Structure formats: structure tokens, C-alpha cells
Structure 1
């Protein structure tokens, strides 16, 4: 399940960057809102999946409430899910 969560986190992070740095400028600079509509829909679905997978992984990974909150809140910021992947989602060394 962690491998799926890591994939979703990566895609969610990419969709956030695409929304903030491509779709929104296209909407406001080029007056073309179609990118916000399409990328925004994909981002919304990925965001919901990210939160669901965070919930499903919380007990399995033994995250504290603070860690869980950081993992969830990070998805709201550009590059947040990339940080979370490095800090919390990498396979644990034996």
C-alpha cells in the first residue's frame, strides 16, 4: 500500500505544480480557463486519493498525529508531497 501511496503523492505533487504554475497563469494571463478545469479535476481526484491513502497508511506506518498532520497538510503546498516522500514515505532501512 505504501508503494501506491508514494505514486499518488508523486502524481499529486506534479498536478499541484501544473495547476499553480501552468494552468492558473494560462487562465489569468492568456484568458484560457480550460487548463484549470482539466488539470484542476485531476488534481482534485489525486488530492482525495492522497488523503485516503494517508489515512489508510497511518496505523500501518505508526505515524504520530503530528506526523500524520504534516503529511496531510504538505499536500496543500507546491513541492510538499516531494518533501513528504523523502522524509516519511521512503522504505525504512533494516
Structure 2
């Protein structure tokens, strides 16, 4: 997966997507249901760093593969949707064969 340009985006998208799910479905319930705000602070910081890295990888892939504007926009939009990166991953897997 890490051998191709798009594979690097898929790899980073996976971790960004998992961090969003952990934030939404574990850390936030701990904060609001059990009054443990540290969970959101820690997981939120990790998620923020992964999101910034994900955006940098999107820019790298866009420049390297000369994508049209729709793919980078779509890649950023799905980062805000739970399970969005995993749906995009299936489409990127098909593109990976084309662009490399």
C-alpha cells in the first residue's frame, strides 16, 4: 500500500478515519456521559495532527498524480463524515491501479 502515491493517501486516510471514529464514539461519550474531558483533549489532539498530516498527503498526491480538483475536494470532505474515508478508500483502490 505504501509503495504507490495513492497508497500513501489510502494509508493516511485509514488512520485519520479511525481517529475520527474514536473521537466521536469513544472520547465524546466519555466526556459527556462520564464527565472525563481529558479523553476528548487527548484524542482530539491526536485526531487534529492526523487530519493536518492527511491534508498534506492530499496535496502531495494531487501534485504528484496531477489529479483534477474533484479528488482533493472529495478527499477533504469525506474526512468530516464518519466512515467516509473507508468508502473513499474503495474508489481510491481502483484509481491506484491507474495512477500508481
Return the TM-score normalized by structure 1.
0.88
- CA distance in 1: counterparts of 2:22 and 2:65, whole angstroms: 29
Q: TM-score, normalised by structure 2?
A: 0.83
1:85 alignment counterpart = 89
Count, aligned residues: 94
Report what 1:59 is aligned to: 63
Tell me: CA distance 1:52–1:4, structure 2 relative to 1, closer, same or farther (3 Å).
same
Pick the aligned partner of 1:69 from 43, 68, 73: 73
Structure 1 gap segments, 5+ residues each: none
Measure, in 1, the Cα distance between the counterparts of 2:98 and 2:52. Answer: 29
- Unaligned segments of structure 2, at least 5 residues: none
Question: Partners in 2 of 1:52 and 1:59 — Cα distance?
Answer: 11
Off by >4 Å, runs of 4+ in structure 1? none
- Partner Cα distance (1:7, 1:46) in 2: 11
Judge conservation of contact 2:6–2:92 (CA < 8 Å) in 1: no
> Secondary structure at the residue paired with 2:97?
coil
Maintained 8 Å contact 2:30/2:39: yes
